[in-house]
Amino acid sequence: MNARFRFWLITLATLLGLGVTLALGHWQYGRGVTMQEQDLALARQGSLTPLSNGALLALSAPTQALHRSVKLRGQWLDQRTVFLDNRPMNGIAGLIVLTPLQLEGQATAVMVQRGWVQRNFLDRAALPQLGISAGWVEIEGRIAPWPSKLYELDGPGAGAIRQNLDLAQFRTESGLPVFELTVKQTGAAADGLKRDWPEAQVTLRKHFGYALQWWGMSALLVVLYVWFQIVRRLLAKRRP
């Protein structure tokens, strides 16, 4: 391999690496900006008066009320509880527990993300024991989208433990008139559930940190290229 060919090969590889690292840094920065906007929206919505049963259902554009605080009263429909698998919390694998809440005085039910529970790894088919929630309950939380979807090899599941659940699927299965968004429950945990929901600030810092790492790699590529391909060549030519 002659010197000229090696020079252009290294130049091409550097440009390719520079393009990839800059693009990845821009992508992570964009995700961080999006999370920052969501964090600001959460703060604004969280400062508003919590919505009651009737006020929640009266929303003309529910998606514009994402992250808005709610204070609801109703009855748990425990028999319709769904456990979403492969949902880690604080680095531990487990299940997110979703139970519809039949709102008092309303025909509509709201799907509530009640919390997280560790899975039984000795018997993966065993359902966590949450206890029966009889009578009326009052819960606090904030409006949230349906949980993100994970990849499924065998298509949508239908058991109590499954990978994913969406609005259309649950409406079909249950026959219930279900509100289009969910409520992510906050407040004191009960029934062995944890509610250490990830904070947006932590997530956006992570994305900005990744962006800086990728851009740092871009800068390193430039420095190494300039030193080895330009500066050292010039120094070598000046030597007697």
Can you give the residue ranges of every domain in the chain? Answer: 3-38+202-238, 49-195
What pLDDT was estimated at residue 136?
93
| Distance, CA of 164 to chain centre | 13
Residue 129: what residue type?
Q
3 state SS of 33: helix
What pLDDT was estimated at residue 197?
84
Q: Residues 213-238: what's their mean pLDDT? A: 88
Tell me which of 210 and 202 has the higher pLDDT.
210
Give, rounded to a whole angstrom, the gap between the first and last alpha carbons of the chain.
26
Residue position matching structure tokens 């070598």: 236
Segment (H or E) for 84? strand 82-84
At 75, give phi and psi (nearest 5°): -125, 135
pLDDT tens per residue across span 15-25? 999 999 999 99
Residue 32: what residue type?
G
